[in-house]
């Protein structure tokens, strides 16, 4: 009986640890942007065209490491960025492919520019300009 429990436990740990694909910011760079007019806002926004390698990641469990940006904490709006706040997408120092909206179930207490590895389900967002082009849902911090 103990051996059976050990085998089941080992399998579950293996599945949990290796069921997520580690990705890098380079993986998310397979995207091009064109300006598209959104009548509801009366403005042009960058519209993504995802490459095949990025499309294969959609709805997959992934892990990525980056800088935590606490943008609107009262609304639980958190970003994981390739670059720290001083040189991130918002400051005009990088493109939209260098930032991911991360959606946690609970409010987070990390500080801006904390370096974190975050796991979640990757969603590609081309049409809802209220959200980022990359979104991680059901996020968890991966601790070493």
Would residue 118 count as lying in a domain?
yes
pLDDT of residue 2: 52
Whether 30 maps to a domain, the answer reads yes
The whole-number pLDDT of residue 89 equals 62
Residue 18: the pLDDT is 54
For residue range 34-63, what is the model confidence (pLDDT) as tens digits? 999 999 999 999 999 999 999 999 999 999
Please report the pLDDT score of residue 9 as a whole number: 43
DSSP 76-103: TEEEEESS-GGGSGGGTSS-GGGEEEE-
What integer pLDDT is reported at residue 12 of this predicted model?
42
Q: How many domains does the structure of the chain reveal?
A: 1
CATH of the domain at 29: 2.40.50.870
107 found inside a domain: yes
Segments of the chain with pLDDT less than 50: 4-16
Which residue in this structure is represented by tokens 């960058």? 46
* pLDDT of amino acid 19: 78
Q: Which range marks the domain in which residue 111 is found?
A: 20-141
Cα separations (Å) of 71 from 68, 109, 143?
9, 12, 22
Identify whether 9 is part of a domain. Answer: no
The whole-number pLDDT of residue 72 equals: 79
Q: Report the alpha-carbon distance of residue 17 to residue 96 in Å, rounded.
A: 29
Q: What is the pTM of this model?
A: 0.82
């Amino acid at each position: 009986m103990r051996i059976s429990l050990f085998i089941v436990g080992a399998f579950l740990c293996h599945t949990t640890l290796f069921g997520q694909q580690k990705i890098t910011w380079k993986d998310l760079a397979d995207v091009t942007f064109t300006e598209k007019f959104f009548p509801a806002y009366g403005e042009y926004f960058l519209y993504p065209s995802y490459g095949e390698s990025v499309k294969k990641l959609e709805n997959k469990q992934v892990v990525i490491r980056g800088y935590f940006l606490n943008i609107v904490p009262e609304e639980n709006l958190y970003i994981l960025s390739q670059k720290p706040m001083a040189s991130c997408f918002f400051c005009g120092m990088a493109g939209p492919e260098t930032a991911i909206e991360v959606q946690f179930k609970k409010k987070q207490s990390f500080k801006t520019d904390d370096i974190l590895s975050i796991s979640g389900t990757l969603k590609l967002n081309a049409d809802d300009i209220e959200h980022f082009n990359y979104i991680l849902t059901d996020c968890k911090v991966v601790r070493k």
